[in-house]
Amino acid sequence: MTTTVGKPVPRIDALDKVTGRAAYVGDLEIPGMVHGLILRSPWPHARVLSIDSTEAERLPGVLGVLTRDHLEGIDAYFGSVVRDRPIVAMDKVRYQGEPVAAVAARDLATAQEALELIRVEYEELPLVSEMEEALVPGSPALHETNLCAEQHYDWGDVEEGFAQSDRVFEDTFTFPMVYHYALEPHTSIGHYTNQGITVWSTAQHPFLVRSDLARMFGFSLHQVRIIVPYLGGGFGSKSYTKMEPLAVALSKVAGRPVRLALSVEEAFKTVRRHAARLTVKTGVKLDGTFVARECLIYLDTGAYADNGPLVAGRAGERIAGPYRWPSLKVSSSAVYTNSTPAGSFRSIGAPQAAWASESQVDIIAHDLGIDPLEIRIKNMVSRGEEVRRGQRPLEGDPATGLRLAAEAVGWDDEAAEESGRAVSSALVTGKGLGCNLSGVGSSPTSTALVRMHVDGTLTVLVGTTELGQGSRSAMAQVASEELTVPMDSVDVISSDTSIVPYDRSTGSSRSTTLMGLAVQDGAIEVKDQLLELAALHFESPVEELSIEEGQVLCRGESIGFGELIQEEFGGVAGELMGRGYVTPRSHGGRLAQSPVFWEVGISAAEVELDVETGAIRIPHYVSVADVGKAINPQQCEGQDEGAAMQGLGHTLFEEMLYEDGQLLNPNLIDYKVPTFAELPDKLETILIENGDGPGPFGSKGLGEGGIVAAGPAVANAIFRATGVRIKELPLTPERVWRALRRARGQD
């Protein structure tokens, strides 16, 4: 009997959030807490000759100053792949805005005053702004080399493939630097004592932060506690370790808990998405069959590696798209430049890869005179087929999803016309498609604890960070469903590493699938214990028992869960505990092969373009997500719509602009993010539910797919409206206007 799963039940944090009661890190007051501010480098690349903080330290109200000279006993470097990022600048600074020193003071005004008393002497170094120049031998080096990582994917013989092709296409695309813009900037309260560390932080992956801090500060895991209350949006910007080491190191010098709450501008200077330059060479048969593809990808990872090497790897994998390739050869590199470090951002590497791949698919379709929908379907992998060599076969059916999207946007109505329709003398319209496939789920490493109290209610303990995606509600629904208790009998406690059991991370669309399974397993373990107790109570074999609405039933009689617990422990006391373990070996090993599942990103856009101004309006936008089973359909739609809008942001106007190594627009006045005014007139999400996911009740994750194909869907629509192909994002009015003008030969 279904009680909650599959229904749009209200999220359990809704009331707290809309009334402002929900506490975020910035709302917390820790006894003895003081305030930290960071002194940041004005230079993009400079040697730090000297730092004099004595005057700042003497200022009344200052409790401590942190510089490279205050790191004794601390391993100052961290990084999820390469440990190249120091807590504060050591020998040199590598980007404008890099932390050089920090002050802890009794209030922010004092901290600000103290920052201005710190004297830093820099020696400017030549800077590297572009990836192309970074890789030229002899150019200034940020680290030992400017090549941060290089990944390769090869199968088949592409040279032979190109020789067998009727046509070979080669195109180069660029993708801008963009910022996540989570509503809540990074915030951490660090508290260091000789016995251990407690950190309240905006961390998507608290257990990974715990490992880093334990290593850096010389503690074992039980001495490091990371607490993550509600998080105001992550999108990857709060993945892995960010400001936590600085907050803890500052607490160590101050001897107090220190609150470090970044401004939006500082968050812009903490992490961003990789800009990219992608060259794609594709060989095809005249009937549209894909034969070979060779890709050269460069990703601008900024001053430090952060997750760049992994992003390069994923971009390399994802540029193959959801298509069959007899031969494929990809080289994907992350390159250091003097700019904000780039790391994970919602579907790492995929929007860049899909931008190139899916734009070129339309170039090919147009050239061969084949409908863009048909050429995609013709080459698309099917259910059960191997997607990437050695990886899990496809469990979904992207072709059906793409057809649904095309149908929803009225693709067939336009199919008869090769190009777009003129609405008036200045307005033309066109429709475009885009799709991609991402292996997601990270690794199958999640655990959960389900506690049933003596009144039959539940507390579920998970390490999933509630960052707005609705994980607390989804986990509650899974537990509620499995144990037939109402939603309001379930509470979900998340993300306190000393209380909740281990989870690898909150990202890669993994939580409902993997943590959901762990919660389901924990609930089943509680159920098994209840049935054992009921078997004693009814003096009946377990096979004759069933559960329903919080009761165990046996031959027409029933007993409540709470009563069974009381019978066992005696009196109104005791509780039952169920454990959920998701590991590569659990569940018969079915989660071991990578990826955990394949997430589709499918978009269809109808675009209206003003040819006199270059301005784009989107009357209709459709996004398709394959969720296996929607645990909460309303939240699924919300996630997918959010992803689509974020995708339209980097498609239409988002771009971090640098000049001489200085970030020109680290604020929301000069850096445009989508608002309600930019919503398509009609924004639609279609959920596919085939029950074929590896998660509880046949579910699989979503949340990343919706961002992936926005760029190519819109650019492909512009091409169909005007015959003009644009290979750079964002599609600002001026960029579109220039492209139209160039096409008319007026430039």
Partner 1 sequence: MLRPFKLHEPTSVDDAVSLLGRFGEEAKVYCGGTELLLAMKEGLLRYNHLVNIKTIPGLDEVGYDQGSGMLSIGATVTHTALEHSPQIQSHFPMIAEAEGNVANVRVRNVGTIGGNLCFSEPHSDPGAFLLLFDTQVEIQGPGGQRTIPLAELTLGPFETCLEDDEVLTRILVPQFPQGMTGAYLKFGYHARPTLGVGVSVRVEPTTSDGEHIERAVVTEVRVAVGSAGPKAVRVAEAEQLLMGKTVAELLPGSNGGESSNMNEASRLAGRAADAMDDIHGSGEYKEHMIGVFLKRAFAKAVNTRQPTVQSPLS
Task: Please give the C-alpha separations between residue 665 and each of 130, 179, 656, 670, 736, in angstroms, as whole numbers.
Answer: 18, 11, 6, 5, 21
Asked if 653 touches partner 1 (CB under 8 A), the answer is yes
Establish how many alpha carbons lie within 13 A of residue 682's alpha carbon, considering only the half-sphere containing its beta carbon: 13
Single-letter residue type at 42: P
Asked if 287 touches partner 1 (CB under 8 A), the answer is no
How many Å apart are CA 595 and CA 518, to the nearest integer? 18
Which residue lies nearer to partner 1 by CB, 144 or 659? 659
Of 443-451, 485-493, 568-576, 664-672, which part binds partner 1 (CB under 8 A)?
Answer: 664-672
Asked if 734 touches partner 1 (CB under 8 A), the answer is yes
Instruction: Measure the CA dihedral 80/82/83/84, to 10°.
Output: -120
Residues 106-125 that bind partner 1 (CB under 8 A): 108-109, 112
DSSP 53: -
Asked if 413 touches partner 1 (CB under 8 A), the answer is no
Which residue lies nearer to partner 1 by CB, 107 or 159? 107
Of 119-127, 353-361, 473-481, 731-739, which part binds partner 1 (CB under 8 A)?
Answer: 731-739
Residue 285 φ/ψ, nearest 5 degrees? -85, 160
**In whole angstroms, how close is the CB of 642 to partner 1 at the nearest point?**
20
Residues 570-629 that bind partner 1 (CB under 8 A): 612-613, 615
Of 345, 333, 369, 317, residue with least CA distance to 151 = 333
Please identify which residue in 422, 426, 536, 542 interacts with partner 1, judged by CB under 8 A. 426
Of 14-22, 316-324, 442-450, 663-671, which part binds partner 1 (CB under 8 A)?
Answer: 663-671
Asked if 156 touches partner 1 (CB under 8 A), the answer is no
Asked if 260 touches partner 1 (CB under 8 A), the answer is no
Number of H helices, E strands in the chain: 20, 31
**In whole angstroms, how close is the CB of 611 to partner 1 at the nearest point?**
10
**In whole angstroms, how close is the CB of 654 to partner 1 at the nearest point?**
10
Taking a C-beta distance cutoff of 8 angstroms, is the pair 41, 93 a contact? yes
Burial class (CB in 10 A: 0-12, 13-18, 19+), 90: middle
> Which segments of 423-544 are extended strands (E)?
427-440, 446-452, 458-462, 490-494
Quick check: helix, strand or coil at residue 43? coil
Asked if 425 touches partner 1 (CB under 8 A), the answer is yes
Asked if 733 touches partner 1 (CB under 8 A), the answer is yes
Which residue lies nearer to partner 1 by CB, 48 or 663? 663
**In whole angstroms, how close is the CB of 703 to partner 1 at the nearest point?**
26
Of 105-113, 241-249, 349-357, 622-630, which part binds partner 1 (CB under 8 A)?
Answer: 105-113
Please identify which residue in 652, 686, 710, 715 interacts with partner 1, judged by CB under 8 A. 652
Asked if 672 touches partner 1 (CB under 8 A), the answer is yes
DSSP states along 353-406:
HHHHHHHHHHHHHHHHT--HHHHHHHHB--TTSBSSTTSPBP-S-HHHHHHHHH
Taking a C-beta distance cutoff of 8 angstroms, is the pair 551, 655 a contact? no
Asked if 670 touches partner 1 (CB under 8 A), the answer is yes
Asked if 164 touches partner 1 (CB under 8 A), the answer is no
Taking a C-beta distance cutoff of 8 angstroms, is the pair 181, 673 a contact? yes
From the centroid of its chain, how far is CA 296? 24
Of 15-23, 361-369, 422-430, 513-521, which part binds partner 1 (CB under 8 A)?
Answer: 422-430
Asked if 669 touches partner 1 (CB under 8 A), the answer is yes
Q: Which residues contact 486 (CB under 8 A, 6 or more apart)?
A: 3, 4, 480, 550
Asked if 665 touches partner 1 (CB under 8 A), the answer is yes
**In whole angstroms, how close is the CB of 505 to partner 1 at the nearest point?**
33
Which residue lies nearer to partner 1 by CB, 112 or 546? 112
Quick check: helix, strand or coil at residue 182? coil
Asked if 746 touches partner 1 (CB under 8 A), the answer is no
The residue count for binding partner 1 (CB under 8 A) is 25
How many Å apart are CA 458 and CA 456, to the nearest integer? 7
**Which positions lie near partner 1, rule CB under 8 A?**
37, 108-109, 112, 424-426, 612-613, 615, 652-653, 657, 664-665, 668-670, 672, 678, 732-734, 737-738
